[in-house]
Structure 1
Amino acid sequence: MAAWSDLTFDALEHITSFLSFSDHYRFGAVCKNWRSVSKGKQHPPTPQLPWLVLEEESETRKRKFYSLSEDKHYSIEIPELYGRYICGSSHGWLCAIDIKISGIIINPFTRKYYELPPFPAYDENVDVTTLIEKVPSDCIEQPRGFTFEKMQTAIVFKAILSHDPNERSDFTTLILYGLLHSPAFWRPGDSSWTVVDGPKCAMEDVLYFEGNFYIISAMNVLYVVDFEPEPKLIEVGPQICPEICLEGCALQRYLIDFNENMILIERFSRSVGNDLVITHGFNMIEPNLEEDCLYEWYDIDDYAFFLGRNSAIFVDSSDVPECKKNAIYFTHITESVSPVEFGFHDLGVYDITDKRINTFYSVGVFPPRVDSPVWFTPNSW
């Protein structure tokens, strides 16, 4: 029998098509020959659960990842992410901001990245780039009570990509930034962000759907981004009446492209004291743009949604046995630390059938100050 290390490239590549991402990672560590097969390869077709991108280890500065399917942590050396806050995840790429409020888009495993230009003004009274230049490098506190760290987490609420940069070089990055989560976009080759003109109200989520960016506002109004001739938001679709929450608490909205359907998901939270909030339910609506009407969704069959500061992800549980079906996995949406059952943060999995929330994160405890965990689907190594 031939030695495993002597198997042909084609045979080894065929083997990798059956491996999960973590096994693909181990495969590449066996020997130089196997490493050459795995390096730079797009993620295998084997269905997988997304990972969580967690905080940086204080001593090693390695970035922690959590594999949901294995209930296991991985600490990986990624120097480009040192000290950076993760504010978005799309197509296996992360948007990360450092303490000087400069940003990159990076594939954490190939370590290919794009540098982003300075972000637009934080709000009408504070221009981040001007403020950074005026503050001494050894200064911790900023004017108006802001620290570099606080502004780092506040400047960009969410970032998504239109396409995988591995597949298309003409992708678009759209961010929701500042106090109102205003939209702005950047494309490779641009020297600055282009701000999208729109109403002065808070925006809550953005989705790239059938060739367009759609944004949902806190007022439950759906907009499409019109890039020409001057970038602006245009109201589209039927009027959306928000679900009435009897417990009368916080509401966060998400948009997801689910099997070519645009779904609006409303997330309800309640206060548990000391400004802490806990999620207690979800509601699903389909704003049908062609028929200009709304459809309520009561279940998603064998699928599961993964919501947070990532481009929303769905997984078919029939392909991934360890995934709960007809469920919504969610990460926290505030910086509050909640000393309850969900790992000291508002993390959980919502069973749509029985309307109960359970924990999925049972390993360790987050420190009081930590990045918002972000769902992430590795797509290459």
Structure 2
Amino acid sequence: MVSWSDLCSDALGHIIGFLSLPDLQSFSAVCRNWRWVAKQNNCSPAEQLPWLMMKEDASTKKRKFYSLTEKRHYYIDIPELHNQCWIGSSFGWLFIVDGKFIPRLFNPFTRECYKLPLLPKFEEDMLQERLVKAVLSHDPSKKSDFTVLFLYRINLTKMAVWRPGENRWRCIPCMDHVADAIFFRGNFYLACSSDLFLISDVGSNPTMKLVMPLLLSGIEYLVDFMGELLLVERHLTNLGEWPHHFHVVTKRFAVHKLNLEEKTSSECKDFGDYAIFLGTSCPLVVNSQLFPGCKRNSIYFTDLGIKLYPEVYGCDDIGVYDFPRDAIEPYYPSEIFHPFAEPPIWLTPNINKL
């Protein structure tokens, strides 16, 4: 009789293609042979729904994650994230910075890490406020020739790029207000003030070129939606009275499809079976049919941290926007308080290696 541990690697690799992250971890713990198969790059796990990464547990110092699919928390010990600031994620990689202004790209599930050149120094107590966004051109797990675009603020918004093998950041002149950045169809694009720009010649002499005008009226996100570029506007409202109870939360979203060739935009109200995940991380688009409980034609969002009284409200602007009903619903228990200093972010488990 053949033992389960003796199943051929091809069969085991096929099984892995249907497993979520928790199931894959259990799979790899069965025996040495199964773990070896799970570690092979040619055995790709199933597409993963983004997890919500939250603050450390005060008693255990373990990082807390929330699985939308299972509606449960996971606590994972990740020492590399202790005393680190982060500004979101891209392809499942976190962009983290320590108190010495040393930035890193870090995959919390595989512990892979890229040490990046030093950042310009500014007030340490304002580190979180100065970091704006980091965007990857490609997944470093799959392509070694990738580019990091980093946005930060020192008086005005500044922009820099880095590629593996370089020992410093290359700065790019940009506009005062950069709403968002994205890598789309082989180029970086920026939503700046009232225009969309393309960054050309990233590898040698990065420069900005005007693509088309934009009409911006909220918090903006650039989203790669199945090969089409969307501009998503997040409209806010204040639930309190100025200046004593300034409590800003999301009211609704508006979505525009950008036609780069014709330099036009049109309103979009239907994502079909897809859902978009927005926050400080790079936007994510998933097929809701692959994940039980994931709402179709919706936008899942996390807090922006726009509050004058964070000790009172914390990061409570968390929900899912239902487009057909123009309504916002909770997806996470509202009674759980999120510290303002560590706003929850979306992180897609990147587990090409274990």
How does the TM-score come out when normalised to structure 1? 0.84
1:221 maps onto 2:195 in alignment:
yes
User: CA offset at residue 215 of structure 1?
Assistant: 0.7
1:172 maps onto 2:147 in alignment:
yes
**Counterpart amino acid of 1:198?**
C
| 1: CA distance, partners of 2:340 / 2:23 | 32
1:292 maps onto 2:263 in alignment:
yes
Aligned with 2:332 (options 361, 364, 370):
361
User: CA offset at residue 3 of structure 1?
Assistant: 2.4
| 1: CA distance, partners of 2:16 / 2:171 | 43
**Counterpart amino acid of 1:187?**
R
Task: Judge conservation of contact 2:315–2:343 (CA < 8 Å) in 1.
Answer: no
Instruction: Indicate the residue corresponding to 2:94 in structure 1.
Output: 94
Instruction: Indicate the residue corresponding to 2:342 in structure 1.
Output: 371
Instruction: Indicate the residue corresponding to 2:118 in structure 1.
Output: 118
**Counterpart amino acid of 2:211?**
V
Aligned with 1:152 (options 127, 139, 143):
127
1:132-147 matches, within 5 Å, as: none
SS at 1:35 equivalent: helix
| 2: CA distance, partners of 1:357 / 1:175 | 31
| 1: CA distance, partners of 2:27 / 2:299 | 31
SS at 1:5 equivalent: helix
User: CA offset at residue 87 of structure 1?
Assistant: 0.8
User: CA offset at residue 40 of structure 1?
Assistant: 5.5
Instruction: Indicate the residue corresponding to 1:134 in structure 2.
Output: none
**Counterpart amino acid of 1:192?**
R
| 2: CA distance, partners of 1:181 / 1:256 | 21
Task: Judge conservation of contact 2:16–2:46 (CA < 8 Å) in 1.
Answer: no
| 2: CA distance, partners of 1:367 / 1:90 | 22
Task: Judge conservation of contact 2:85–2:97 (CA < 8 Å) in 1.
Answer: yes
SS at 1:318 equivalent: helix
Q: Percent identity?
A: 41
Task: Judge conservation of contact 2:311–2:340 (CA < 8 Å) in 1.
Answer: no
SS at 1:353 equivalent: coil
| 1: CA distance, partners of 2:48 / 2:111 | 21
Structure 2: 5+ residue runs without aligned partners? none
User: CA offset at residue 46 of structure 1?
Assistant: 2.9
Q: How many residues align?
A: 344
Q: CA RMSD in A?
A: 2.2
Instruction: Indicate the residue corresponding to 1:136 in structure 2.
Output: none
Structure 1: 5+ residue runs without aligned partners? 121-126, 129-145, 244-250
Instruction: Indicate the residue corresponding to 1:241 in structure 2.
Output: 215
- Deviating above 6 A after TM superposition, structure 1's stretches of 4 or more consecutive aligned residues are none
1:78 maps onto 2:54 in alignment:
no
Structure 1 residues 344 and 111: alpha-carbon distance in aligned structure 2, compared to 1, 3 A threshold = closer
SS at 2:89 equivalent: strand
| 1: CA distance, partners of 2:319 / 2:222 | 19
User: CA offset at residue 367 of structure 1?
Assistant: 4.1
User: CA offset at residue 257 of structure 1?
Assistant: 0.5
User: CA offset at residue 89 of structure 1?
Assistant: 1.0
Once the two structures are superposed, what CA deviation does each residue of 1:186-226 show, in whole Å capped at 9, x if it has no partner? 11111111111123x21111110000000112x23111112
Task: Judge conservation of contact 1:306–1:314 (CA < 8 Å) in 2.
Answer: yes
Task: Judge conservation of contact 1:42–1:379 (CA < 8 Å) in 2.
Answer: no
User: CA offset at residue 291 of structure 1?
Assistant: 1.2
Q: Which moved more, 1:331-340 or 1:291-300?
A: 331-340
1:231 maps onto 2:206 in alignment:
yes
Instruction: Indicate the residue corresponding to 1:21 in structure 2.
Output: 21
Task: Judge conservation of contact 1:278–1:338 (CA < 8 Å) in 2.
Answer: no
Instruction: Indicate the residue corresponding to 2:169 in structure 1.
Output: 193
Structure 1 residues 172 and 42: alpha-carbon distance in aligned structure 2, compared to 1, 3 A threshold = farther
